Structure 1
Amino acid sequence: MNFLAHLHLADNSQTSLAGNLAGDFAKGDIAAYAKPLQQGIWLHRQIDQLTDDHEITRELIRQFPKKYQRIAPILADLAFDHMLARYWDEYHHLTLDAFCRQAYTDLAQNTGLPDKLAEMVPLMAKHQLLQSYQKRAGLNEAIYRVSKRFSKPELFTGADKTLKQMDIDIEIAFRTLYPQLMAYSRILSRKTPSEYL
């Protein structure tokens, strides 16, 4: 799952939006973060592990062409955010725009975020990054941004076309897996280790 999904699952489980997003940026020991952030980071890690280990995800990854196998998990994460944004009204009572505006405000008001996330929050809001996932062009832009973080960005060449060709398979995987993750996130929030509460 990528940014939008983690924020949605945080809202779904009534845990810290900032903490759940910080899970992509906080490395190693998280004891220095505020307790709500610790819980969110822990939950983020649990969701990532569940997603990576799930047979639905593994089967989807196997369907990617051989040349994309190395980056297929990243592409699947981005594609799942696109699916969530595309069918947002089926998963949340607020509009996507209203939810994203609330998320940007919540993130901006949180102090003590990992440095890279703190730097990114104003840019996310300015460019409406989360909302952009709703359109294919936004997904393609996300693929481009991620590719620039790699020493070999050419690994992502043509990935946008592959995701478009795999659209139905990705949608089936997402619609099957995501309701399970929503349930897991609520259960896991109640099972948070005491040191993170």
Structure 2
Amino acid sequence: MNFLAHVALSGEREGILMGNYVGDFIKGQLTELRTESWPADFRLGVELHRFIDNFTDTNQGVLQAKRIVAIKHPKVAGVALDIYFDYFLANHFSKFYQEDLAGFVMGSYEIIQRNRQLIPAAMLSMAEAMIRHDWLLNYKDISGIKRSFDGLSRRFAFMGAIKGAEEELQRNQQIYQDAFMEFYPKLKRACEKFIENY
């Protein structure tokens, strides 16, 4: 899953949201990292991020959708599908959450800014760009998805193959939407249970 989903799946506690938000930038086994200074909810958020990634990567419906993306974009199918799923979450947000998307995104940006000391240095400039250019809300439009793919292809040489992946989203939109709508409620329930049982 991509940024919007990770933030949305965090529940209402700021520390969990922050840990989940920065999870991709925290490498290694948590038992081997110096986590004693981390707030408890932040650590929970990092673990939730890893749980989400594993739950997603092992779901059969997601794997099937990924195979379809891979026909045109084999090297970047997983990343492309994660961003497709943020597009569908943004467009169907009210089916899963009571808060409207714009209000949720604005509140999330405020939490991120308020807790910037928890953002790893390697992520800081990207986090600032995300807020400045309103990435989370822009996932709602194909033009925003295109900008996301264009940006990835510019910033990372290995992501060159993702340029133009929005065309695959448009071409097989119903297939990917069906996969998302089947999968996301299961993921949301699993995350709620993970937080509750932590």
Calculate the TM-score normalised by the size of structure 1: 0.89
Q: What is the identity, as a one-letter code, of the residue corresponding to 1:44? A: H
Q: Which residue of 2 is the match for residue 140 of structure 1?
A: 146
Aligned length: 192
Contact between 1:4 and 1:130, CA under 8 Å: does it hold in 2? yes
Question: Is it true that 1:103 corresponds to 2:108 in the alignment?
Answer: yes
RCO higher in structure (CA 8 A, sep ≥6): 1
Contact between 1:34 and 1:112, CA under 8 Å: does it hold in 2? no
Q: Distance in 1 between matches of 2:91 and 2:72?
A: 27
Q: What is the identity, as a one-letter code, of the residue corresponding to 1:179? A: P
Greater helix proportion: 2
Contact between 1:6 and 1:44, CA under 8 Å: does it hold in 2? yes
For structure 1, the residue ranges without an aligned partner over 5 or more in a row are 193-197
Q: How far did 1:12 drift?
A: 6.7
What is the 5 A alignment of 1:1-197? Answer: 1-11=1-11, 16-28=16-28, 29=30, 30-32=33-35, 33-110=38-115, 111-192=117-198
**SS in structure 1 of the partner of residue 97 of structure 2:** coil
Q: How far did 1:124 drift?
A: 1.9
Q: Distance in 2 between matches of 1:103 and 1:72?
A: 27
- Alpha-carbon deviations, 1:14-53, whole Å to 9, x = none? 8621111111211113543332211101001011001011
For structure 2, the residue ranges without an aligned partner over 5 or more in a row are none
**SS in structure 2 of the partner of residue 148 of structure 1:** helix
Q: Distance in 2 between matches of 1:69 and 1:12?
A: 36
Q: Distance in 2 between matches of 1:68 and 1:17?
A: 31
Could you say what the CA RMSD is over the residues aligned between the two structures, in angstroms? 1.9
Q: Which residue of 2 is the match for residue 195 of structure 1?
A: none
Among all aligned residue pairs of Structure 1 and Structure 2, give the percentage whose two residues are the same amino acid: 28
**SS in structure 1 of the partner of residue 157 of structure 2:** coil
Calculate the TM-score normalised by the size of structure 2: 0.89
